[in-house]
Structure formats: structure tokens, C-alpha cells
Amino acid sequence: MWFKRQKYVPKLPDFLALCERNYAQLNRYLKAEVKCGQSVDIQISAQHCYRLSVTEVARFTTTLDIELLDAQAYFRPRFTVRLYHDAQVAEVLACQHISRFQARYDYPNLDMLLPDEKRQINLLLRDWLKLCTAQGYINQELAFG
């Protein structure tokens, strides 16, 4: 028996709440006056250190790159995140080799992206921020060099 799969419908209030929480968490790692080129290292364990770098500063937005510094790692997670200061939300612009996420994807698709890929990638940022809060510490010697 065949059944028709319902299309994914994004829930905007839930997505915005997620982006607001990510914004608040990311702001914990930024100085009051943010400048392009600033960075902070967040040490999770002896082997895992992430660098949060400011790559672009505009009147209402700040763009950050978050990447694992371990050159020996097979999988090196990398995010590009934009902070929208007027709305106080953070949104993942790119993760690994994927960028410009759509709100919804048909499934199956050629890239095998989930119907809610944009939400999933922002949930991944949330989980990374939780890890940083629980286990990470800022390397003060390198903070915003």
C-alpha cells in the first residue's frame, strides 16, 4: 500500500526561538566592541580546540567562522554564522561544503539533504554551543588577538 508523505512545513516561531538562543550563546564569546579579524579559541579537550573568528562586521550584522583547529582530524567541522543584531538572532549560513540553505527541501533530492536541513544545521550549532558551555574554556592567551 502506498501512502503520500506530507511535505515538511517550517515552524517559524520554533526556528526563531532556536536562532535567538544561539545568538545569546554566541554573544558570550564576543567582546562589546567587535572588530573584523578578532578571534577567540575555545578549548574543549586536550585534542579539540575551536576558533571563533570575526570575518565581517556591518552596522546590523556580524559574520563569524567557527572551525576545529586540529590539523590531524579527519573531520574538521566548520560553520559560518551571521549574527543579526537588530533581531537578535544567529543563523548558520554555511556548514562544511553546504551553503545557502533553503527553508524546505523536497525529499528525496540529489544532494540528499533533509527536508528540514536548515533547522537541523542550526540545531547542530546549538549542540556545539552547549558543548562549549559544558566543557569548554577560553584560552585567555589567545583571546581576541
Q: Which of 14-18, 26-30, 74-78 has the lowest mean pLDDT?
A: 74-78
If you average pLDDT over residues 123-142, what whole number do you get? 83
Q: How far apart are CA 33 and CA 25, in angstroms?
A: 17
Q: What's the confidence (pLDDT) of residue 1?
A: 54
pLDDT digits (tens, 9 = 90+) for 32-43: 889 999 999 999
What's the total number of domains in the chain?
A: 1
Distance CA 69, CA 48 (A): 7
Whether 116 and 12 have beta carbons less than 8 Å apart is answered as no
Q: Could you tell me the pTM of the whole model?
A: 0.83
Within a domain: 145: no
Helix axes 117-135, 12-27, angle to 10 degrees: 30
Q: Which domain holds residue 71?
A: 12-29+36-136
What's the whole-number mean pLDDT along residues 110-120?
75
> If you count DSSP H runs as helices and E runs as strands, how many of each does the chain have, helices first?
2, 7
Q: Domain for residue 3, yes or no? A: no
Res 105: pLDDT: 63
Picking from 8, 6, 22, the residue whose alpha carbon sits closest to that of residue 121 is 22
Q: What is the pLDDT of residues 53-74, one digit of tens each?
A: 999 999 999 999 999 998 677 7
Q: Which residue(s) pair with 57 in the sheet? A: 62
Q: Classify residue 6: in a domain, yes or no.
A: no
